[in-house]
Structure 1
Amino acid sequence: MKIKSFLNYLNENNIKKAVILKKENINYFLERYPPTFSILVFDVKHDRAVLKVPKLEYRGALTYKNKYLDIELFEKIEEVFKGCDGVEDSLPLKFLKYLDNYKIISDKIREMRRIKNSKEIGLIQKAAKISDKAIEHATELILNTDKPITECELAAEIEYIMKKEGSIKPSFDTIAVSDKKTALPHSMPSSNTIKNILLMDIGAVYEGYHSDITRTVILNQDKRYKDIYNLVNSAKTEAEAYLKEGVSVKELDSIARKSMGKYEKYFIHSLGHGVGVEIHEEPAVSSKVKEDIILKEGMVITIEPGIYLDDFGVRIEDLYLVKRNGFKKLSNAKIMEY
């Protein structure tokens, strides 16, 4: 159990009371989307965790109670921090006035979050199925209509499907861009009519756990589009061939880059990243990381090679569960063949 494991860590490091405000970290320990206003306190002396909530959240918060977790009301924030000596590195400065001596606990939480348990994997898989359905719907729509569709209209359609299928919200601002805008990795939708080439990067959130998938769809017969698309897809396949427990993130990133040959210089971001209660979390799958993390069974990462030329770009991304002798692909929307 995560809560018990973290209490043991605090005890071993002589931390008596730790307070967590970051919603994603609370989500991680609850394994459910947390109440809107809530603070999680670990009390080592009493060997328990307490979810502190104001009155407007109390009745709803009672459903979170279990043998590891109590629910308590609080009225003043300073009450929560009383006796606290363990905090996150993201703690807002305005709360430091309530503390004297303290230790930072975030590194341990980030380390714990790297490996997903079976419940977390199930939630991520559910989020991935939602985004699969949305991106397949959008692809079919754009390929089977003669009616002009704008980028914003398609983005709205994607988000509608994700909501309909049970996503709390998009993981990030939905990317649905076309033509020259595909050359910009984080370009946002506009009122431009979709033409020539379409890039969609989307994510769903289920019980606070995220998915992430990117598909590129070619809408004309330009051979340059197809050649770059196939090169990116090959780089992704090459990385997949090496993906398993024991491989370093730097090595995996380098394998994909080298497979691009002279186009490597147009691959301007990392190969991937961890996914969980945040859309970007450890481990970063990059050859530039300071700590060369070795992949372990239970990690969930993306592989998303991309090539971005002056007038267009291509990115293809999927979500993977690292296993001892390979991987399980969690996103399964169809990849186009050209």
Structure 2
Amino acid sequence: MDVHIKNILNDLKKDDFQAYMLTQFTNVEYISNYKPTSFAFCVIKDNPVIYASSMDMEIARRDSDIEVREYESYEVMIKELRKEGIKNLAIEPSLPYSTYVRFRDDFQIDSKTYVDKQRMIKTPEEIGKITKATEIAQKSFLQLDILNNSGSENEVAFDLVRHMIENGASKESFDTIVASGPSSSLPHAVPQDKKLQRPILIDWGAIYEGYCSDNTRTMVYTEKQHEIFDIVKESHDKAIKAIKPGLKCCEIDKVARDVISDYGYGDKFIHSTGHSLGLDIHETPGFSLRDDTVIEKGMVITVEPGIYLEGEFGVRLEDTIEISRKGNVIGDLPLIID
């Protein structure tokens, strides 16, 4: 039996639950190696089972490491689980309410983050896939020759995604951000049909064998842009240097935030310092003020401080960090793009 399933079964036993139900696609994939295209119910118990839609049965039977049954109805599922003596059911917090109400009358239910706990620590194989996704994304970025590009934000974003796919990615890991000029002060800017202005901020990532990468680089030009860049770079570098197992995630956020605050821009750093990634682009834990998760070996978390001056410009620098005895940057893309 898969080690993650064994660990979840141990958690269930400790909390006196008999089964754990998942519907989130990447959680089902993480547990079974089968990624739904329609819908699926993965029930982790002593004999785990997936109820897959008829449209997915071929791919589910091909890929799943655990038993697959064709979904017939909620009533059939409930009847089969009750027949096994299951009276209480843990669910993932993201389970839709419309699904929860189908089960609440038949089971004692509570939400648990058992699978999130498993996904926090990446295996060497998972880290290898994240590393490959990062290599693809960084190689593709360098192919843009961004400093000599005369295209629009839209065109640059399109070209970057095309390069990533040509270099082996299945797709982009999130909507690619190309923001230039005043738009760069928007952390989640959407590329526009306008010629590149300055500075140029690009936030992008690739997916390789299901696993995501994430980087941000900002190309600066004026004296003030360079000044802000240097502050963000100092925050980025000091945060990474501070990472080690045993510290809390919020302590790393404080390191990054204190640097920017000391220069008088604390109120211009308007998001957390970083997030975990894996099968999803945003996972837990993250480097934020409110996350007191203890850092462990095997975690993979981004560091991405930024300063955003409304109506002027923004600067963000982001790398993905694999944690062993210290924080190791994945990839070798320079922070300063010449």
Q: When the two structures are superposed, what TM-score results if normalisation uses the length of structure 1?
A: 0.89
Corresponding residue number in structure 2 for 1:70: 67
1:99 aligns with 2:96: no
Distance in 1 between residues matched to 2:168 and 2:118, nearest whole Å: 27
Decide whether aligned partners of structure 1 residues 149 and 155 sit closer, same or farther in structure 2, where only a CA change above 3 A counts: same
Summarize deviations over 1:230-276 as a string: whole Å, max 9, x none: 11111111112111111222211111122222222221111111112
Structure 1 contact 33–207 (Cα < 8 Å) conserved: no
**Aligned pairs (5 A) from 1:1-338:** 1-30=3-32, 32=33, 34-42=35-43, 44=45, 47-66=46-65, 69-82=66-79, 83=81, 85-95=89-99, 96-100=101-105, 101-138=107-144, 140=145, 142-145=146-149, 148-218=150-220, 220=221, 222-260=222-260, 261=262, 262-287=264-289, 289=290, 291-310=291-310, 311-324=312-325, 326-336=326-336
Structure 1 contact 18–87 (Cα < 8 Å) conserved: yes
Decide whether aligned partners of structure 1 residues 269 and 41 sit closer, same or farther in structure 2, where only a CA change above 3 A counts: closer
Distance in 2 between residues matched to 1:124 and 1:199, nearest whole Å: 22
DSSP-derived class of the 1:314 partner: strand
Distance in 1 between residues matched to 2:74 and 2:169, nearest whole Å: 31
DSSP-derived class of the 1:232 partner: helix
Distance in 1 between residues matched to 2:269 and 2:292, nearest whole Å: 20
DSSP-derived class of the 1:188 partner: coil
DSSP-derived class of the 1:129 partner: helix
Distance in 1 between residues matched to 2:257 and 2:17, nearest whole Å: 44
Structure 1 contact 134–158 (Cα < 8 Å) conserved: yes
Structure 1 contact 159–170 (Cα < 8 Å) conserved: yes
Distance in 2 between residues matched to 1:156 and 1:118, nearest whole Å: 32
Shift of residue 94, structure 1, vs aligned partner: 2.1
Shift of residue 322, structure 1, vs aligned partner: 1.0
Q: Which runs of 5+ in 1 are unaligned?
A: none
Question: Percent of aligned pairs with the same residue?
Answer: 32
Distance in 2 between residues matched to 1:246 and 1:81, nearest whole Å: 43
Structure 2 contact 34–60 (Cα < 8 Å) conserved: no
Greater mean alpha carbon deviation, residues 261-270 or residues 160-169: 160-169
- Which structure 1 residue ranges, 4+ long, deviate > 4 Å from structure 2? none
Structure 1 contact 7–42 (Cα < 8 Å) conserved: no
Decide whether aligned partners of structure 1 residues 43 and 313 sit closer, same or farther in structure 2, where only a CA change above 3 A counts: closer
Q: Which runs of 5+ in 2 are unaligned?
A: none
Distance in 1 between residues matched to 2:314 and 2:127, nearest whole Å: 31
Structure 1 contact 27–208 (Cα < 8 Å) conserved: no
DSSP-derived class of the 1:48 partner: coil
Distance in 2 between residues matched to 1:38 and 1:92, nearest whole Å: 12
DSSP-derived class of the 1:247 partner: coil
Shift of residue 38, structure 1, vs aligned partner: 4.5
Count of residues in correspondence between the two structures: 324
Distance in 1 between residues matched to 2:109 and 2:329, nearest whole Å: 38
Distance in 2 between residues matched to 1:50 and 1:158, nearest whole Å: 40
DSSP-derived class of the 2:298 partner: coil
Decide whether aligned partners of structure 1 residues 332 and 318 sit closer, same or farther in structure 2, where only a CA change above 3 A counts: same
